[in-house]
């Protein structure tokens, strides 16, 4: 297995185009009466930068949700590729696509040119670790005339336009990459193309953004954003309630009732919370003990108890927000018979950036102990936990994962999380039948047939009991009564757009 790498969910966005696609408070963007000179937005975010705002990993979510960065394409409400920096595209052959660029400008005043896009994509292919959207993909790009980019893949890639919508493949000006020739450090301050320009970052505490007036999609109605990174969910809810912030993401379920109804928005998302069992070492290398752990879990108790109805019991890797999944779901294949645990010691870990997860882990601890496991629980802030999780240092891990986050393609999360070469394989799963099923899904071009193949692969994965789906979440966003145009995105790729204002 190649070295594992950091890729979280979490939340992402290529905001401006999505602002018209998803539900937003106040509907369509309207003039604020000041020619777009609206007040600054104050936003409380759940996750501080974990990788110095590198666009190649988890921090891409911050850059996109705040309207800083975007790529050649974005993802529309139906999960299909839509224009962003590329106004259009066409497929030349099964391995080659040509993307025609729109007239756009980087925040440092330089033009978005084919050579700039080629440089950005080439740097992404050289990044270590590679962006999750490029997992298993060999990609090259070259200028094609004065306004187009030709992108080739080593193998046929039927979802390339959708793949390029990933925030981890955002395009920055040459200034962002410095003089190095590799895909290393990227500085997003003043070098992206979105409606808001990142001007200052205070470590893991805060970030300041100003409106980018030359944005190709029109001036944002807010004059800027003052973002605070607040890992404690109760503190985020309190900040909204006391008027310190205008938008608070990921409000804890336990705090939802403390917010006035008109400041509370809940959105069905493609995020699944799952119990991942380390299948390569420790007690859960034994399929029978994995089966015992799976049998011990009561998902309804989690959905109704911990999440207070803001979640559905776990059905699979994909939940109800992936509307086609339930009708295509297959019975898990090849499950082992559950063995009896006899005071078997295990370490169970999770993180507190999503405040329900420690409570989920505590309930799981009780359920697993009732089944004969001796559970040691470990809870940390995510950035202090991730590397240990990726290296397989825990026996079990509770993870909230957006199943369509990296590319919008349902197969991508399977390849990244559950195959031998997967870059976010916390379950340490390496199973030949799983790899074969995922590879078959990756080769399938027809959208409906690709969905069928994805569900066949899901059945193989669930059959290993390396992943136990717990709940499918609804995300609660706190929105001040004077705020309009917040983007409530089921894919968690958007939060603030050009029409967001107060």
> Which pLDDT score, from 0 to 100, does residue 22 have?
43
> Which pLDDT score, from 0 to 100, does residue 37 have?
63
In whole angstroms, what is the distance from residue 331 CA to residue 295 CA?
A: 15
Q: Of 164, 392, 449, which is closest to residue 278 (Cα–Cα)?
A: 392
Q: Are strands 139-143 and 96-101 parallel, antiparallel or unpaired?
A: unpaired
For residue 359, what is the enclosing H or E element?
A: helix 356-370
In whole angstroms, what is the distance from residue 95 CA to residue 250 CA?
A: 39
C-beta of residue 490 within 8 angstroms of C-beta of residue 318? no
> Which pLDDT score, from 0 to 100, does residue 28 have?
36
Q: Where are the alpha helices (DSSP H) in 112-247?
A: 114-126, 160-163, 233-241
What are the pLDDT tens digits along the chain (502 aa)?
333 333 333 332 333 333 334 444 433 334 444 444 679 999 999 989 988 888 998 899 899 999 999 999 998 877 789 999 999 999 999 999 999 999 999 999 999 999 999 999 999 999 988 888 887 789 999 999 999 999 999 999 989 999 999 999 999 999 999 765 444 689 999 999 999 999 999 999 999 999 999 999 999 999 999 999 999 999 999 999 999 999 999 999 989 999 999 999 998 888 999 999 999 999 999 999 999 999 999 999 999 999 998 999 999 999 988 888 989 999 998 999 999 999 999 999 999 988 889 999 999 999 999 999 999 999 999 989 999 999 999 999 999 998 886 788 889 899 989 999 998 999 999 999 999 999 999 889 888 899 999 999 999 999 999 999 999 989 899 999 999 999 998 888 889 999 999 9
> Which pLDDT score, from 0 to 100, does residue 17 have?
37
C-beta of residue 280 within 8 angstroms of C-beta of residue 430? yes
> Which pLDDT score, from 0 to 100, does residue 178 have?
77
> Which pLDDT score, from 0 to 100, does residue 152 have?
98
> Which pLDDT score, from 0 to 100, does residue 277 have?
98
Q: Where are the alpha helices (DSSP H) in 409-446?
A: 410-418, 432-443
Every domain of the chain and the residues it spans: 15-249+481-488, 269-474
> Which pLDDT score, from 0 to 100, does residue 489 have?
87
> Which pair of tokens denotes residue 93?
């052959």
Residues with Cβ within 8 Å of residue 394, at least 6 apart in sequence = 278, 347, 348, 349, 378, 388
In whole angstroms, what is the distance from residue 361 CA to residue 275 CA?
A: 9
* Domain 269-474, CATH: 3.10.105.10
> Among the CATH numbers 3.50.50.60, 3.40.190.10, 3.40.50.720, 3.40.50.1110, which is that of 15-249+481-488?
3.40.190.10
């Amino acid at each position: 297995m190649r070295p594992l790498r950091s890729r979280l969910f979490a939340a992402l966005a290529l905001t401006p185009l999505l602002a018209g696609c998803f539900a937003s408070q106040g509907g369509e963007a309207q003039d604020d009466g000041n020619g777009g000179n609206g007040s600054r937005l104050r936003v409380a975010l759940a996750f501080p930068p974990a990788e110095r705002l590198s666009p190649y990993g988890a921090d891409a979510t911050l850059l996109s949700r705040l309207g800083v960065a975007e790529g050649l394409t974005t993802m529309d409400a139906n999960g299909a590729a839509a224009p962003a920096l590329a106004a259009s595209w066409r497929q030349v052959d099964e391995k080659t696509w040509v993307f025609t660029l729109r007239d756009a400008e980087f925040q440092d005043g330089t033009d978005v040119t084919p050579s700039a896009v080629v440089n950005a994509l080439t740097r992404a292919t050289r990044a270590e670790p590679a962006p999750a959207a490029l997992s298993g993909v060999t990609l090259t790009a070259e200028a094609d005339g004065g306004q187009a980019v030709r992108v080739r893949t080593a193998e046929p890639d039927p979802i390339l336009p959708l793949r390029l919508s990933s925030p981890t493949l955002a395009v920055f000006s040459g200034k962002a990459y410095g003089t190095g020739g590799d895909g290393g450090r990227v500085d997003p301050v003043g070098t992206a193309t979105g409606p808001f320009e990142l001007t200052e970052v205070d470590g893991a505490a805060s970030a300041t953004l100003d409106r980018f007036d030359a944005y190709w999609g029109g001036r944002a109605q807010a004059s800027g954003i003052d973002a605070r990174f607040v890992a404690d969910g109760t503190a985020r809810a309190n900040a909204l309630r006391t008027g310190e912030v205008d938008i608070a993401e990921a409000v804890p379920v336990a705090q939802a009732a403390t917010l006035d109804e008109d400041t509370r928005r809940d959105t069905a998302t493609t995020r699944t919370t799952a119990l991942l069992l380390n299948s390569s070492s420790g007690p859960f290398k034994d399929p029978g003990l994995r089966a015992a752990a799976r049998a011990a879990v009561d998902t309804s108790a989690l959905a109704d108890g911990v999440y207070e109805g803001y979640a559905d019991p776990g059905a699979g890797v994909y939940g109800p927000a992936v509307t086609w999944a339930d009708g295509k779901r297959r019975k898990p294949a090849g499950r082992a018979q559950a063995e009896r645990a006899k005071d078997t010691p295990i370490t169970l870990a999770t993180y507190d950036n999503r405040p329900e997860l420690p409570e989920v882990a505590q309930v799981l601890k009780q359920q697993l102990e009732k089944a004969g496991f001796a559970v040691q629980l470990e809870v940390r802030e995510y950035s202090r936990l991730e590397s240990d999780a990726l290296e397989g240092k825990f026996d079990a891990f509770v993870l909230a994962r957006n199943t369509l986050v990296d590319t919008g393609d349902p197969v991508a999360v399977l390849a990244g999380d559950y195959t031998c070469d997967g870059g976010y394989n916390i379950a340490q799963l390496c199973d030949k039948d799983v790899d074969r099923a995922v590879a078959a899904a990756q080769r399938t071009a027809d959208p409906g047939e690709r969905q069928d193949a994805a569900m066949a692969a899901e059945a193989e994965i669930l059959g290993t009991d390396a992943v136990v789906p717990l709940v499918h979440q609804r995300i609660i966003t706190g929105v001040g009564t004077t705020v309009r145009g917040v983007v409530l995105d089921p894919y968690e790729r958007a939060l603030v757009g050009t029409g967001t204002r107060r």
